[in-house]
Structure 1
Amino acid sequence: MALTGTLKDFGIADILQLIGQQQKTGVLYLKSKEQEVQVFFRDGAIVRAESVTRKKKDLIGNMLVRAELITEQQLESALETQKRTLKRLGDVLTSTGAISAQKLKQMMQLQVTETLYGLFLWKAGTYEFKQEEVQADSESITPLRAESVLMEGFRMVDEWPHVRKKISSDAMTFERLKELPAPNPKNKKQEEDDFDASFDDAFSEEKKDENKGEFKSIGSAERRVYELIAPGRDVRKLVDLSSLGEFETSKALVNLLNLEYIRAHQASGRSSSSGGANLLVRVGGVVARAVVTVIVLAALGFVGSRLRPDTWDLGDDSASSFADPAAQRLLARAQQARIEAALEVFRLEKGALPERLDALVEVGLLQQEDLRYPWRDDYYYRRTSDRQFILLSPLR
C-alpha cells in the first residue's frame, strides 16, 4: 500500500484510521520542521511510537528520574551497565531491582501515548507508510487500537483550550483548601494502588459533567494529583510525579479547582479567585452563546451559499465525475467545516450533539446531499459525549 504525502492533504487522523481499518503491518514515518516520529503497526494496532528527535528529558531514563521512581545514581549505574552488556535500559533497571517491571511498563506506555497524542497538535508535516516486518514486545507495551488513539487524541485536542483557561502556566503552584471526601467503598480495591489506578483512569473513558474537563466525582487521578500538591511544586513537577501525562494531570487540577478543593497561585504569587470571577464567566457565557449562535449561523449560510452541490456543474453524478483526488479532498475539507459548523449550532440550540448527522437535516441546518458531498459514501461521524465528536471524510 503506497501511502505518502503531506499532512495538509491527508491528516494524521485519516492516516491512523486507514492503517487501522486495513490492519496493515509496517512503520509510519512522520516529519515536521522540528520533529520526526516513527509509529510502528502490527495488524493495524500500534505497538510502538518513537520520537527520533526526542529531547533528553523525554528519554525513558530521565522520565523515571523526574517521576522519582529511580535516582540519578541508579540511572547512571544502569547506563554504564547497558554500555557493557548492550542490554536494554529497562531490562537493566528491573534486573537490579531499581524499578518493578509493572511500573516500567506503565511509564513506557505513557511515553508512547504522549508521543502519539502530540501528533494531533502538528500543523504541518510529511508522512510515509512502509510495509515491513514489525516485532511487537507485549511485555513492554500494550498494543493500542488506532480507533482508541483517535478518540483520545480528538478528546485531548478538543478539551485542551478549556483546560488551559484554568492552567495558564506551567509555573503555577497550588495549595489545598479542604480534604477530599472518602473514597467509595465499592472502589476500594481500585484505590489501593494509587499509581496503578490513576494510570488506568488516564487512558479510560469516564462519564463527564456537561462542563468540559470536569467529572461528576473525584477519581483516582484527582486523588493522586491532590496528594502530590505541596509548596513549591509547579504544574511541570506535578506532571512528572503523577506519571499521568501532561493533559490528564492538568485536567485533574482543573477538576480540583472547579470543585474548590485547591487554590491556584500564579508565578507572581497571586491566587486565582473562583467567586465573582466565575460568576462573571457564567453570565458572560450565556451572552457569548447567543452571539456565537448568530455568528455561526451567518457563517453557515455564507459557506452554504458557495458550497451548495447544485451550484457545481459536475454532471449527473458529482461524486464520480469529480475524479481528481486533490479536488475531492479540497471540497471535502470545506464541506466538513460546514458540517462541523452545523453541529456546533445544533449543540448550542439543543444542549447536546446529535446522535446521527441526519438530525442536522431534520432541523433544516443541512440538506441530505451535504452529508456525503463530494463522496459517494457518508461522512464518518461518532458522538463521544454531549460536546465531543469525531467527523472524518470517507476513506477513498
Structure 2
Amino acid sequence: MALEGKIKDFGMTDILQLIGMQKKTGILTLTSDQDTVTVTFENGMVVAAESYHKGKGRLLGQILVRAELITDQDLERILAVQKETGQKLGHILIQEKMVHRKDLSSIIQLQVRETVFKIFEWKEGDYRFEQVPVNYDKDNTAPIPCDGILMESMRLTDEWPLVRRVVSSDVLVFKKADEKRADKALAGDIDSAIDMMFDESQQNKSLKDRGKALQKDFPLSHEEEKIYSLVDGERSVRKLVDISLIGEFETSKALFNLVSAGLILPVGEEPPVLGVEEIDRKRRRVRKILRNLAAYAIMLSAVLFLFTASRRPGAGILFDVTRNMAYRFELIRQVHALQEMDRILSASKVYYLETESFPGALNDLVQEIILEKNEVVDPWGEAYRLEVKGRTITVRSSGEDRREGTDDDLLAETRL
C-alpha cells in the first residue's frame, strides 16, 4: 500500500521522519506546478534524489557541465554510452577518467542534499511513496540519514533570512575589496581586517603587532577561502555556486561572511562612509558572526551525535511510530534551545568585552544589536532567563511544561 497525500497536510519533515524511523526502502515522488522530484530510500536512508525542474537542471550530468568538469559534448557522448551499455553514469565517468571517484562521491552527495533541501521550501504539492526495490550507484553513493537531513534543514531555515539580506539574488556579482585588507584576512588576522575596514591608519601596523591572539580563533573557513579565490568581479552568484561545488547555501553564506568582513563587495558599490554609531554596530555584528562560526559547527556535530544515539527502531505499530515521532520532535526543540542558550552566553561575553560590564537583562543584548528579539525566546514561546552572579552567567529555560523547577528545565552557564 502506497503512502500518498498533500504536502500541506503532511509536510516533508513528517514524511522523512516516518520513512526513516520505519527504515523503508522505496521511492518518494513529489510533484508541484513547478517541479517533479524523486527521492530514493534504502533502509530509511536517502541514497538518491533527482529534480526535473527546467529540463533536468539538477541532474548529475548537468551539474558536472555547469561546474566545467565536462563539456556538453562529453555529456552527450557518455549518455550515448550509458544508453548502449546500461552502465551507471558514475561508472562511465570514472572509466573515462573524467572525474576521480572521491570527487564523484562528494558531487553525488551534494546533488542529493541540494535537491532534498529544495523540497522543504514547498508549500503545495502532492507526494507518493511506494515500497519497491531500488537501484542506485552503490559504488559512489554514501547513504544519508534522514535525521541528518532534518537537522541541516533546520539550520538552513534559521540562517537563510540573514544571508539573503546580502546575497539577495543569484545574478549578483561580487568583487574583491582592498587587497591589503584581504591579504591580512586570508593570513588569519580577521580582527585586524575588521579594524582596517573602519580605520585606514590600521593598514600600516604589522601583522605581528595586531590581534595575534585572535588569529587562531577566526581564520577563514575552507568554504570562504574557496569562494574568495573564485570571486573575480565577473562571475555571478549562480556561477560561483556551480563551479565551487559546495552548494547554494554554503556559497551564499561564505559570500555573506566575506562581505561582512569587508573582503568583497557587490560590483558597482563602494564601501560606505560610516558614522561612529554605525561603525560600532558593524563591528559588533561582524564579531558576533565570526565568534559563532566555530561554536555552531561544534553544536551541529553534537546534535547529529544525539540523534544517532537516540535512534529507536520502529515497532511497526502506529502508536509506537507516533510516540517516537513526538519524542524526536521534542528532542529537536531541546537541542535547538540548548543551541540558543549557548548563543546567549556567547553574546553575553561579547557584551562584556564591548562594555566592560555584565548584561543586566536579555534586553541589553538586543539593544546592543548583539542578538535579535526572536533569539531570546525559547522554542516553547517563553523568554529565556538570564542570571549573573559574580562572574558566572547562567541562562535557563523552563522547557516544554513552562514551569520552573521541573525535570525538563534546561540550563547553560559560563564563567568569565
Range of TM-score over shorter length = 0.5 to 0.7
Measure, in 2, the Cα distance between the counterparts of 1:281 and 1:18: 48
Distance apart, 1:367 and its partner CA = 10
CA contact (8 A) 1:358 1:368 kept: no
Q: Is the 8 A contact 1:120 1:153 kept in 2?
A: yes
- What amino acid is aligned across from residue 244 of structure 1 in structure 2? I
CA distance in 2, matches of 1:117, 1:109: 12
Residue 105 of structure 2: aligned partner: 105
After superposition, the Cα gap between the structure-2 partners of 1:97 and 1:11, relative to the gap in structure 1 and judged at 3 Å, is same
Partner Cα distance (1:163, 1:362) in 2: 28
Q: Which residue of 2 aligns with 1:76?
A: 76
State the number of aligned residues.
Answer: 291
Match of 2:278? 279
Query: Which residue does the alignment assign to 2:95?
Result: 95
SS, match of residue 165 in structure 2: helix
| Whole-angstrom distance in 1 between the partners of 2:61 and 2:188 | 33
1:270 matched residue in structure 2? 269
What does residue 238 of structure 1 align with? 240
1:58 aligns with 2:58: yes
Identity fraction in percent: 38
Post-superposition Cα deviations, 1:120-179, rounded to whole Å, max 9, x if no partner, equal: 110111222222223454322211110110011121122211111001222222222312
Residues 240 and 251, structure 2, Cα contact 8 Å, conserved in 1: yes
Structure 1 residues 254 and 78, CA gap change in structure 2 (3 angstroms): same
The unaligned stretches of length 5 or more in structure 1 are: 185-214, 287-324, 326-331, 372-378, 384-396
Q: CA offsets per residue over residues 194-223 of structure 1, 9 Å max, x none?
A: xxxxxxxxxxxxxxxxxxxxx954110001
Q: Check conservation: 1:114, 1:245, Cα contact below 8 A.
A: yes
Q: 1:281 to 1:67 in 2, by over 3 A?
A: farther
Classify the secondary structure of the residue corresponding to 2:186.
Answer: coil
**What is the distance in 1 between the residues matched to 2:119 and 2:258?**
28
Deviation at 1:362, TM superposition (A): 8.7
Aligned AA (1:121): E
Counterpart of 2:119 in structure 1: which amino acid? L
Cα distance in 2 between the residues matched to 1:148 and 1:282 = 35
Task: Kindly indicate whether the alpha-carbon contact (under 8 Å) linking 2:40 and 2:47 is maintained by their aligned counterparts in 1.
Answer: yes
Match of 1:182 among 168, 181, 187: 187
Deviation at 1:106, TM superposition (A): 1.6
Distance 1:76 1:126, change over 3 A: closer
TM-score, normalised relative to structure 1: 0.62
- The alignment yields a C-alpha RMSD, in angstroms, of 4.2
Matched, 1:171 2:145: no
* Structure 1: distance between partners of 2:277 and 2:22: 48
C-alpha distance 2-85 of structure 1, shift in aligned 2 (>3 A): closer
Distance in 2 between residues matched to 1:4 and 1:368, nearest whole Å: 32
Distance in 2 (CA, whole Å) between partners of 1:165 and 1:277 is 23
* Counterpart check, 1:222 vs 2:227: no
Q: 2:384 & 2:271 partners in 1: Cα distance?
A: 44
Partner of residue 28, structure 1: 28
Kindly state the Cα deviation for residue 370 of structure 1 after the two structures are TM-superposed.
7.8
CA distance in 2, matches of 1:278, 1:123: 41
- Alpha-carbon distance, 1:76 to partner: 3.2
Q: C-alpha distance in 2, partners of 1:48/1:278?
A: 50
**Greater shift in the superposed pair: 105-114 or 168-177:** 168-177
Q: 1:253 to 1:277 in 2, by over 3 A?
A: farther
Structure 2 segments unaligned to the other structure (5+ residues): 190-216, 286-321, 323-328, 345-361, 366-370, 387-395, 412-416
Instruction: Check whether the contact 2:380–2:402 (CA below 8 A) recurs between aligned residues.
Output: no
Question: What does 1:206-221 correspond to in 2, within 5 Å?
Answer: 216-221=218-223
Distance change in 2, residues 1:175/1:43 (3 Å): same
Distance 1:142 1:354, change over 3 A: farther
What is the identity, as a one-letter code, of the residue corresponding to 1:224? Answer: K
Q: CA–CA distance in 2 between the matches of 1:16 and 1:122?
A: 14
Alignment of 1:32-51 (within 5 A): 32-51=32-51
Instruction: State whether residues 31 and 125 of structure 1, in contact with CA within 8 Å, keep that contact through their aligned partners in structure 2.
Output: yes
Q: What is the TM-score normalised by the length of structure 2?
A: 0.59
> Structure 2 CA distance, aligned partners of 1:367 and 1:57?
44
- Residue 376 of structure 2 contacts residue 384 of structure 2 at CA under 8 Å; is this kept in 1? no
In structure 2, the CA distance between the partners of 1:259 and 1:10, relative to structure 1 (3 Å rule), is: same
Asked if structure 1 preserves the Cα contact closer than 8 Å seen for 2:27 and 2:39, the reply is yes
* Cα separation, partners in 2 of 1:131 and 1:18, compared to 1, 3 Å: same
Structure 2 counterpart of 1:39, one-letter code = V
Q: How is 1:1-396 mapped onto 2 (pairs within 5 angstroms)?
A: 3-53=3-53, 55-135=55-135, 137-177=137-177, 178-179=182-183, 180-182=185-187, 216-265=218-267, 269-271=268-270, 273=272, 275=274, 279=278, 282=281
Contact 1:175 1:262 (8 Å CA) reproduced: yes
1:225 Cα deviation (Å)?
Answer: 0.6
User: In the superposition, relative to structure 1, how do residues 138 and 85 fare at CA in structure 2: closer, same or farther (>3 Å)?
Assistant: closer
Q: CA shift at 1:264, angstroms? A: 1.9
- C-alpha change, 1:164 and 1:355, in structure 2 (3 Å) is closer
8 Å Cα contact 2:380-2:400 kept in structure 1 = no
Equivalent residue of 1:78, what SS? helix
Q: Could you list the per-position Cα deviations for residues 229-262 of structure 1 after superposition, in whole angstroms to 9, with x for gaps in the alignment? A: 1131111111111001111100001011111121
- Structure 2 CA distance for partners of 1:234 and 1:248, relative to 1, 3 Å: same
Q: Distance in 1 between matches of 2:231 and 2:164?
A: 19
